[in-house]
Amino acid sequence: MNRAAIRIALRATAFAVAVFAALTGPADAASRIKDIADFEGVRDNMLVGYGLVVGLSGTGDKMQNAPFTQESLVGMLERLGVNIRDKTGAVTTQDPKNIAAVMVTAVLPAFARQGTHIDVSVAALGDSTSLLGGQLL
């Protein structure tokens, strides 16, 4: 086929599509898709984490009763480049009582977007008496 024949065929096809679109009316839906469809496997996501709450006013964990708090503190400080071990490798921290180990949980709704506010629960693991005024790390 030459170019002129192709051009005529394209114009005829475009004209036929335009006539068909003009003759058919708008589609009136009796139901909306969201009313009759359901996504499979859509669910909320449970988020679970572990952290330290610092800045407590003497209400934190006692290190002798909560060794995981001390281990977490030592690990965090070492990752930040702070050496708190003596020459024998023993930890040289005191019992600060201003730190508590905590579990952090939240439910992230399906289809949550960036900036969505979610409720977060923070629960003490050790023997701290209050987390009031602390900062979660």
Q: CA angle at residue 103 from 100 to 108, to 5 degrees?
A: 140
Mean pLDDT, range 83-98, rounded to an integer: 79
Mean pLDDT, range 74-103, rounded to an integer: 84
How do residues 17-31 score in pLDDT, each as one tens digit? Answer: 888 777 776 766 677
Residue 93: name the closest of 104, 101, 103, 85 by CA. Answer: 85
Whether pTM > 0.75 for this model: the answer is no
Q: How confident is the model at residue 106 (pLDDT cuts 50, 70, 90)?
A: very high
Residue 20's contacts (CB-CB under 8 Å, 6 or more residues apart) are none
Task: Report how far residue 58's alpha carbon sits from residue 61's, in angstroms, rounded to the nearest whole number.
Answer: 9
Tell me the helix, strand and coil percentages in the chain, rounded to 5: 30, 20, 50
Cα 90 to the chain's mean position, in Å? 37
Q: What ranges do the domains of the chain cover? A: 3-36, 45-136
